Amino acid sequence: MKVIRVVSAIIAFSIMIYSIRTDNYQILYFTQLFIGTILLIYSISEFQHKRKARAVLLLFLAGLTLLMGTLSLSS
């Protein structure tokens, strides 16, 4: 679980740096998808540590971020 979190963070950071350096802002939607994945993984981790309030909030934010990233890809 920790490996997936770190890999997603590295990919999201790399995409952000690439899009800023090349002025290609259409690729930032993928960054939203990876940030949503990171939030989802944190939510699962919080559920495992019995911190339900924080886990529900992170799950809501992950769903919202993934929804925004998915909808922005389709347009």
| pLDDT, position 63 | 94
Measured CA to CA, the distance from residue 32 to residue 39 in angstroms comes to: 10
Mean pLDDT, the chain, rounded, equals: 90
> Which domain does 41 fall in, by range?
2-74
The count of structural domains within the chain is: 1
Q: Which pLDDT tens digit goes with each residue over 17-46? A: 998 899 888 888 888 888 999 999 999 999
Give the SS3 label for residue 22. helix
